[in-house]
Structure 1
Amino acid sequence: MNRTPSTSRRRLLQGGLAAAAVGGFPALSRAQAGRLRVGFVSPQSGPLGIFGEADGWVLDRVRQASGGQVEAGGKRYALEFIVKDTQSNPVRAAAVAKELINADRVDLVLSTSTPETVNPVADACEAAGVPALSTTAPWEAFYFGRGAKPGQPSPFKWAHHFCFGVGNFATLYADQWSKVPTNKKVGMLLPADADGNAIRGLLIPALQKAGFTVVDAGPYQNGVADFSAQIQTFRREGVEIFNTFPFPPDFAVFWRQAAQRGLARQLKIVQLAKAGLFSAEMEALGPLGRGLHAGAYWHPAFPFASPSTGLSSRELATRWEAERGKGWTQQIGATASLFDAALAALRATDAPGDRAALAASLGRLKAETTVGTVDFTAGPVPQCATTGLVGVQWMPAPAGAKNRMEPVIVANADNPRVPLQGTMTAYQLP
């Protein structure tokens, strides 16, 4: 007589536990047991792997500084990080994000380094209702590249992003390009991807408004092996400034062809973004890399510290070089800033295991990081915050440096708190 009610109660209990396991009962969570899980996604191999070279090292510094714990809402939580490599593949980026959400049951997902990483991760988190935070991709590529429309309400709730944007590039370039006399004709080489589309639609009009004549060579596919048509266009139009946003390996192919076909000798400013960020790229180009121009989103000279690692910008670079025997890279500071912002958001949340509460904390976050202040209350759009850029020129490093080439800060109109280190010169083909 009592077996049926007992069985029913057992099934109800089992069903309730299953529902809690998939988020059906928000009150039953790992956070209540005193543990928070944070997923971290970045390209640690493949053509974008240079961005992720130092990510594991930075995370080790965060673990060391935090002691594997974080305090939020008056309670101390154990902090567990789960790392995934996208292998530079957007499809895999989405897949590993779903693994973190569905299998690892993370409370927060962090991602970094180019739209090919952060956009698919953000989309997966948005679909699942999981808070996400990302950096190192122009905010327009993140926001508009995922379907938001200018002037319309944000379609997003869960994924947040901080980085430079087109406005930062426009300010940087107007300043940096004024430091060398040119005919103000700019050749733009932009890929057919989220970065290229955002830059084409927004930066080109801004440059034209600033008085530059822009020659757009048209979209190309990442991985293309022949840039003859684009080089011919730039030579015919007489451009003296060149600007591009390619995958790093693609720029190396283009630039060697540009030198062989006479374009490099015509140019006075060679301005890189997405490529031209790492010493290894410049060293691989040999003499062709000396004097190239770029923007930097982090540099050891930045007067900012990283709360999540307990290190200043200079100390981050020095520790990396001492422990790894390699020269510093920009992504060290950028990745540190992602953990700075993430831990600040967790600490500011009364219930970090409550996804809605954590997403709301991200939306009102204002925190100091190793790239400067990250302020989501200032916009420019919901879920996005901006950080600054400085202009650099790649030059031979001083004797004894780990890198053979280092970026010298030559322009700071977009980030005036960062001191200048040198005077910009025109590019000269060796």
Structure 2
Amino acid sequence: MNITRRALMRGIGVAGLAAATPGIFAPAIAQAKPVRIGILAPRSGAMGTVGECGIRAVQWAAERMNKDGGIAGRPIELVIEEETSPKDTIERFRRLVLQEKVDCVQGLISTGVSLGVAPTAEEEQALLIMWDGTTQDGVKEAMPKSNYVFRSTDNECEAVMASLLAIKYFKGKIKRIAGINPDYSYGRNNWEAFQQILRRAGVEAEVVAEQWPKVGTMDLTSHVAALKAAKPDFIFSSMLFADLPVFMKQGSAAGLFEGVNIALPAAGWQINQLKKEFMPENVVFGHNTLYFALPTASPLQKAFVDDYMGRYKEAPHWEADRAYFALAAYKAGVEAANKATGRWPKLDEIIAAIPEQKVQSLGGPGQFRKDKIAEQTFYQGLSTNKNTYDFPTLSTVDSFTADQLQKPPGVDFWDWIKTSKLPV
């Protein structure tokens, strides 16, 4: 694949960049050698809007940090490339490292892609900090001892939390369960985790239907009909792409949700598309690591959300937090190592410093464990349509930290589900 050099864009604002060709984003500050951060994020296809939210956030973060001195006195320069297929994204990763000479690569949303890029980062001895990507093969960690790769929280965190909240709010009302989940490991593992957590809580529910649509299926009427015929009293769905709003709209039109409680652990990715006109209330609604309307939000989150919603006329979701967190964690590691050495630190010194650095991200405090897996704060709750937006917000807000929702290092996920001290 031939990759043409991106257009060079310096000294332009975030709003201008968002509509421009992907390339280099370098807010002008002091004339010091910039810290070059490569960004890999989707900009089209099923995850295009997700990637764009993350890109907007990391641009906002770079601009804000540069106004405050950058990273250890050096300005941040972003070099943006697109995440697409594993093969093409690996090639772009190598280009960022070998040609663009970036100091660190950040981004990646698809675990399918990150599983391919991570070994390349180890091979090239290049620092990679993932936004939402993991190195999980199903629920098993495929890279337990990475040297250069920092990973997102486990894929199952939101499903574990939604399962616990289903018990908290609806225990005694869950008798007949149905699932409609994406037909790949994420969906299948989340559905299994939901059932196991119910059983552990003493909820004896009958599985009356299981639907497995392929990702991106936009005609879900047959799935809706099958679910309705099964007469569940609780529906669990870990759908998270553009097919989720389609399912909710078609399900509402068919009367599927009448008298039925629902858990949507990953709904936050589609917050702007889940319109009140077809969304029932009291849904267990997952916002992952950023709930834009958090009543106890930090000044940082308030500033970001106000700016984002004012500029883009929509709510930001958790990919914004993941992007901000990656850059903040890198900055904290560099500056800790800089303080310890009295000079610009070497790569191995930065990598050693990043774990255990507590940073304030958009959604709250977070850090990386020593095994380079993130620990952040998750938000879910029951939805309400009583607000000034055209989509649901939360009437109740529950928050759990990732150490309550994901397996410890070296532990099998299914063993952990059976034996851990769960927060509900």
Deviation at 1:110, TM superposition (A): 0.9
What are the within-5 Å matches in structure 2 for residues 222-233 of structure 1?
Answer: 222-227=215-220, 230-231=223-224
**1:70-149 alignment, distance < 5 Å:** 70-72=70-72, 76-86=73-83, 89-116=85-112, 118-136=114-132, 142-145=135-138, 148=141
Deviations 1:201-234 (A, max 9, x none): 5454233322343737264421234546644554
- Number of the residue aligned with 2:328: 340
Counterpart CA distance in 2 for 1:66 and 1:257 is 44
Query: Which has the larger displacement, 98-107 or 182-191?
Result: 182-191
Contact 1:43/1:52 (<8 A) preserved? yes
- Aligned pairs for 1:368-387 (under 5 A) are 368-377=360-369, 382-387=371-376
Q: What's 2:187 paired with? A: 196
* 1:413 CA drift (Å): 5.4
For residues 307-341 of structure 1, what are the alpha-carbon distances to aligned partners after superposition, in whole Å with 9 as ceiling and x for unaligned? xxxx5212211122233344444433343223222
Within 1, Cα distance between the matches of 2:92 and 2:71? Answer: 28
What SS is found at the alignment partner of 1:246?
A: coil
Q: Which is greater in Rg? A: 1
The 8 Å contact of residues 166 and 284 in structure 2, kept in 1 or not, is answered as no
Alpha-carbon distance in structure 1 between the residues aligned to 2:336 and 2:185: 32
Distance 1:168 1:279, change over 3 A: closer
Q: Secondary structure at the match of 1:287?
A: coil
Residues 70 and 77 in structure 1, CA contact (< 8 A), matched pair in contact too = yes
The alignment of Structure 1 onto Structure 2 pairs a total of residues equal to 360
Deviation at residue 82 of structure 1 after TM alignment? 0.9
1:109: Cα distance to partner? 1.1
- Which residue pairs with 2:174 in the alignment? 183
Unaligned runs of at least 5 residues, structure 2: 1-31, 403-424
- Residue 368 of structure 1 contacts residue 374 of structure 1 at CA under 8 Å; is this kept in 2? yes
Q: 1:318 to 1:342 in 2, by over 3 A?
A: same
Q: What is aligned with 2:310?
A: 322
| Structure 2 partner of 1:206 | 197
CA RMSD of aligned residues (A): 3.4
Structure 1 residues 175, 355: CA separation in 2 closer, same or farther (over 3 Å shift)? same
Structure 1 unaligned blocks of 5 or more: 1-32, 306-310, 417-430
- Give the distance between the partners of 1:229 and 1:323, measured in 2 at CA: 39
1:336-392 superposed Cα distances (whole Å, 9 cap, x missing partner): 223222211222234766333332223343333222332334x6xx22132232223
For the residues of structure 1 that align with 2:206 and 2:90, how far apart are their CA atoms? 35
Counterparts of 1:96 and 1:245 in 2: how far apart (Å)?
30
**Distance of aligned partners of 1:226 and 1:398 in 2 relative to their CA distance in 1, 3 Å threshold:** closer
Greater Cα shift, 114-123 or 154-163: 114-123
Contact 1:375/1:386 (<8 A) preserved: yes
Contact 2:265 2:284 in 1 (8 A): no
Distance 1:225 1:202, change over 3 A: same
1:63 equivalenced with 2:62 (yes/no): yes
Relative contact order higher in (CA < 8 Å, ≥ 6 apart): 1
Q: Which TM-score applies when normalising by structure 1?
A: 0.71
Contact in 2 for aligned 1:172/1:412 (Cα 8 Å): no
TM-score (norm 2): 0.72
Alignment-derived partner of residue 4 in structure 1? none
* Residue equivalent to 1:404: 390
Q: 2-side partners of 1:396 and 1:410: how far apart?
A: 12
